[in-house]
Amino acid sequence: MSSTATDLDREAFEAWRGERERELAAPHGWLSLTALHWLDGEPRTFDQIPGRWSFRDERVRLSPTGTGTLSLEGAPLVAPIELEPIDGAPGVLLEAGRQRLEVIRRSERAAVRIRDPEAPTRSRFRGVPRFPWDPGWILPASFEPFERPQQLVVGAVVEGLTHSAQAIGRLHFTVDGRPQAVLAYAAKEGDGLLLHFRDRTSGVTTHGSSRAVAMEPPSSDGLTTLDLNRAINLPCAFTDHATCPLAPADNHLDVAVEAGERSPA
C-alpha cells in the first residue's frame, strides 16, 4: 500500500471514528441508558418514570398516573394506551420531560428502557479505547452468497433471551496466513455487509460478548474489503441496559484481532 493510499485510509478512518463517537454521545444515544425494566401482567410503577406499566397478550399497556407527564409523538397521554413493539426492532419512543422511554420487545418479553441525557455514562464519556490504527488490518475479502438466506437463532447478553438473525452468505479472508470463513449479515442500511464476531481478544482486551464491523457491498465478482480497524463494540459494552445479540458460533475466530475498539474503561 502506497503512503498516499495509507494517508487517505487513515484520514477516512479518523472522520469515521469522529462520527461514531458523536453518535454514541448523542443526547439519547446508547450512553444515555439508565434503566431497563422488564414488564409482566401485573400493572406496576417504576422509579424515575411516570405511568403504570404491564405486558399481556402481546401488548404493553400504559396508564397515566397523574404524577409526571408522558407524551407520544408530541401528544400528552391522558388515557390508557396499548403498544405493540416488534421483537428485535427499535422500540416505541415516549417522552417524559428530557427523558425518552423506549418500549421494546425481545423474544417473548417486553420492557421499558430509560434514555436520559444526564446519564453518568454519557457525561463521563471521553471516547472509546481502541487499538492503534494499522493498515495491516485492512484485508481483502471475498463474499460467497447463499442461494437462500439462512435463518439463525443466537443468544443474547441477557440470560434467557434469543435473537433472530439472517445470514446471507459467507465471508472469506485471511489473518496471519490463517484462512477464515464466517457468516455475513446484510447491513441494516444500504447494500453492504455486516460481520458480527468474537475472537481471541474477546473477554481479554475487548468486550466479552462480541464486536461488529460493516463493509461496502461486494463487487460483481464477490470481492470486498474488511477493515478491522473499524470493528466496534455493541451497546452492551457501554451499558448494562442493552440486550445485544451474541455472535453466531461460526463467527468465533481462532485469531486475536488486535484492531478496532477495545473494552471501555
In the predicted structure, residue 50 carries a pLDDT above the cut 80 = yes
**Residue 5's pLDDT band (boundaries 50, 70, 90)?**
low
Work out whether the CA dihedral 128, 88, 54, 95 comes out positive or negative.
positive
**What integer pLDDT is reported at residue 2 of this predicted model?**
53
Per-residue pLDDT tens over the stretch 247-256: 999 999 999 9
Q: What is the mean pLDDT of the chain?
A: 93
- Best CATH choice for the domain 30-123 from the list 2.60.200, 2.60.40, 3.40.50, 3.30.70: 2.60.200
The answer, as to whether pTM is greater than 0.85, is yes
Residue with cell 405511568: 51
> Pick the residue with more confidence: 189 or 97?
97
Kindly state the percentage of the chain with pLDDT values over 70. 97
Give the residue-averaged pLDDT of 137-146.
97
Please report the DSSP string for 21-45 in residue order. Answer: HHHHTSTTSGGGEEEEEE--SS-EE
> Pick the residue with more confidence: 103 or 8?
103
| Residue from 103, 146, 102, 138 nearest 225 by CA | 138
Give the residue-averaged pLDDT of 176-192.
91
B/e letters for 153-188, b = 16+ CB within 10 Å, e = fewer, are ebbbbbeebbbebebbbbbbbebeeeebebbbbbbe
Domain residue extents for the chain: 30-123, 128-251
**What integer pLDDT is reported at residue 88 of this predicted model?**
84
